[in-house]
Amino acid sequence: MKTILKWLRNPYFQFLLFGILLALVPILAKIGIFKVSYITTLGGAFIFAIAALGLNILLGYSGLISLGTSGFMGLAAYLSAYATIDLNLPFEVAIFLAILIPTLIGVLVGLVSLKIEGIYLAIATLAVSEVMRKTFEEFDFFTNGFSGKTANYPTLFGVFTLDRTTMYYFIVSVLVLVMILTYNMVNGRLGRALNAMRGSEAASQAMGVNLLNHRLIAFALATIYASIAGVLYVHFIKYSYPSIWSLKLSLDFLAMIIIGGLRSIYGTLLGAVIVFAVPDLFLKQLPYFNQLSYILNGILIILVIIFYPHGLIYAGHDIKRAFNKLRKGAK
Amino acid sequence: MQNNEVDMNGLVLKIEELSIAFGGLKAVDGLSFEIKENEVFGLIGPNGAGKTTAFNCITQFYKPNSGAIYFKDRKGQTQNLLEHNVHEIIKLGLVRTFQNVELIRELSIIDNVLIGAHTDFKATIFSQAFRSPKAVREEREMRAKAYEILETLGIEDRANLPVGGQPYGILKKVEFARSLISNPKLIILDEPAAGLNDVETIELASRIRKIRDELGCSILLVEHDMRLVMDVCDRICAISFGKFLAKGTPKEIKENKAVQVAYLGIEVDHDTKQ
Ligand SMILES: Nc1ncnc2c1ncn2[C@@H]1O[C@H](COP(=O)(O)OP(=O)(O)OP(=O)(O)O)[C@@H](O)[C@H]1O
Ligand SMILES: [Mg+2]
């Protein structure tokens, strides 16, 4: 019993367990407990969670804002589709290119962040993202313009061609890996340095944190995560339109980490599921929902900020406390 | 960079004709002093005298308009601090605290202390992300060292509590601990006793001396609490309106006419002021 408890408290074991739980979805769908469409919805939410984790490193830890997440994610999606379909490159090479190119641009934006901050940085990143979206519309040899670009389920190592279910497993594996790597980074030297940069520039500099380096690292990480998400998206949903990669999506990423929890890995996931999956799974039945989704997110953010300013993930503590109280009361 | 021309024999810090102005205000004006190895050195002066500004110039938060600042680094080499960036200073062996405590509220006390060891880590981001055995060991060793420092300050029981919400006396200790973990050669303390009660101040005085003896480092401190200054400092430099007033042992400073005038605010003719 004791050893089991010890295992359960190990964060790495928790991540693996979490991954296994997520991997149950297709099985539950097969035996008819879930609808098969849940696989697409949840897989999509997990993809968005990866990009949101990157934004959480940038905003939550480093205190740098970006409204450009969707542009970078979209760029990676198009690059990967172009590389695999038009250039016939292997999936692995496509991933590499689709991460490298957006990240280089992301680092350039990081350079800008040394000069401008706060709301101005938000506007600058938004501008970059909008320029990219415009590019997606106009450069149709590369993006196929408004008609959208299609892509296929990927073939790993040239042999394993994935389908929807195995692609879902692939997404869950990448998600768990990204969660573990994020956990390691934010709980070590890098996490402390980013926290210090956000909490006190003076102290971080006096303690030897090179602000330029760490801002670039934060932007690079956020872009890498967004790019990974973009690649997974285009090979899972199998198409990409310019209108997907709009300001609304970037704001949704912001909503995810604020609703779920700044600086919380599981919180980011919770936020992604609430913002992307809950509307699809439960609210779509309601009429006029598409028009209402903005309003719902807005109301949710306001409620969360009022009641759980650190994110909904902390509601768990309250539920536990209330539960313990009830149990004590019953005794 | 080596500067062999400067004679740093027995010294750890040497400041020559340091000046900086904000607009028309000469915050520090032609200030010179030097700190010996293993010395507790006090910089005193009334509010707005330019003490914090002098610290900011030494630690490269401000680039002075003129003057020179030499520092004998960990390896015993003379460094012209003006040639370094602000984030490179701690690596040379010079660390500071802040007049208004600068800690990271959301991090635990021990993590705040570990920020002071930032430049001592060797593992790359990559090996930390993948938890290479070396990175894991390094993190564990640093954490143990931070814990030890918290123990010597008597606050190890709070190691894992967040800094936000801790009482002021504790915050001051955490900042002190953060400066100790880098094994500095010179620690600059900006008003370490501000906001502390009498008991805490007495404790601080003995701690400053103990740190100096155990680490074999020098300490430069700014403090308004005259009892503390007179008690722990080997030598003191007094300034007023950015200008040098007097230098000497605590006794000499206490008896110095110009210092008394500056502190008591008696109007005197500038010619009679020595
Ligand atoms: N960044 C700055 N910009 C403009 N003026 C400044 C700046 N920093 C300091 N000053 C001015 O320089 C003078 C010296 O300030 P400083 O903070 O060094 O004084 P101090 O001796 O530390 O005082 P205290 O004992 O109150 O801390 C003050 O008049 C202050 O207003
Ligand atoms: Mg001051």
What is the ipTM for the molecules in this complex? 0.90
Spatial separation of the C-alpha atoms in residues A24 and A21, rounded to whole Å = 5
- From-to residues of CATH 3.40.50.300 in chain B: 1-93+184-274
Burial of B152 (0-12, 13-18, 19+ CB in 10 A): middle
Are A211 and A198 spatial neighbours (Cβ–Cβ below 8 Å)? no
Nearest CA to B218 out of B92, B35, B79 is that of: B35
**Residue of A62, A178, A189 to mutate, testing the B interface (most B Cβ within 10 Å of its Cβ):** A189
B91-145 pLDDT tens trace? 999 999 999 999 999 999 999 999 999 999 999 999 999 999 999 999 999 999 9
Mutate to test the pocket of ligand 1, among B44, B53, B189 (most ligand atoms within 8 A of CB): B53
A56 touches chain B (CB under 8 A): no
> Any idea which fold B1-93+184-274 has?
Rossmann fold (3.40.50)
Q: Which residue has the tokens 């909904």?
A: A312
Spatial separation of the C-alpha atoms in residues A131 and B76, rounded to whole Å = 53
Flag if A192 and B98 touch (Cβ within 8 Å). Answer: no
Kindly report the nearest CA distance between residue B217 and chain A, in angstroms: 18
A204-239 pLDDT tens trace? 999 999 999 999 999 999 999 999 999 999 999 888
Q: What is the mean pLDDT of chain A?
A: 86
B127 touches chain A (CB under 8 A): no
Backbone φ, ψ for residue B49 (5° rounding)? -70, -20
Provide the residue-wise pLDDT of chain A in tens; the chain has 331 residues: 678 888 888 899 999 999 999 888 888 877 877 777 888 888 999 999 999 999 999 999 999 888 889 999 999 999 988 888 888 888 889 899 999 999 999 898 888 877 887 788 888 888 888 888 888 778 877 777 777 777 778 777 877 877 888 889 999 999 999 999 999 999 999 999 999 999 999 999 999 999 999 999 999 999 999 999 999 999 998 888 888 888 888 888 998 898 888 899 999 999 898 888 777 776 666 666 666 766 776 787 788 778 887 788 877 777 777 777 777 766 5
3-state secondary structure of B89: helix
Residues within 5 A (CB) of ion ligand 2: B 52, 99
Are B51 and B43 spatial neighbours (Cβ–Cβ below 8 Å)? yes
> For residue B30, what pLDDT band results from cuts at 50, 70 and 90?
very high
HEC-encoded secondary structure of chain A = CHHHHHHHHCHHHHHHHHHHHHHHHHHHHHCCCCCCHHHHHHHHHHHHHHHHHHHHHHHHHCCCCCCCHHHHHHHHHHHHHHHHHHCCCCHHHHHHHHHHHHHHHHHHHHHHCCCCCHHHHHHHHHHHHHHHHHHHHHCHHHHCHHHCEECCCCEECCCEECCHHHHHHHHHHHHHHHHHHHHHHHCCHHHHHHHHHHHCHHHHHHCCCCHHHHHHHHHHHHHHHHHHHHHHHHHHCCEECHHHCCHHHHHHHHHHHHHHCCCCHHHHHHHHHHHHHHHHHHHCCCCCHHHHHHHHHHHHHHHHHHHCCCCHHHHHHHHHHHHHHHHHHHC
Residue A101's identity, in one-letter code, is I
3-state secondary structure of B120: helix
| Ligand 2 centroid from CA B55, angstroms | 9
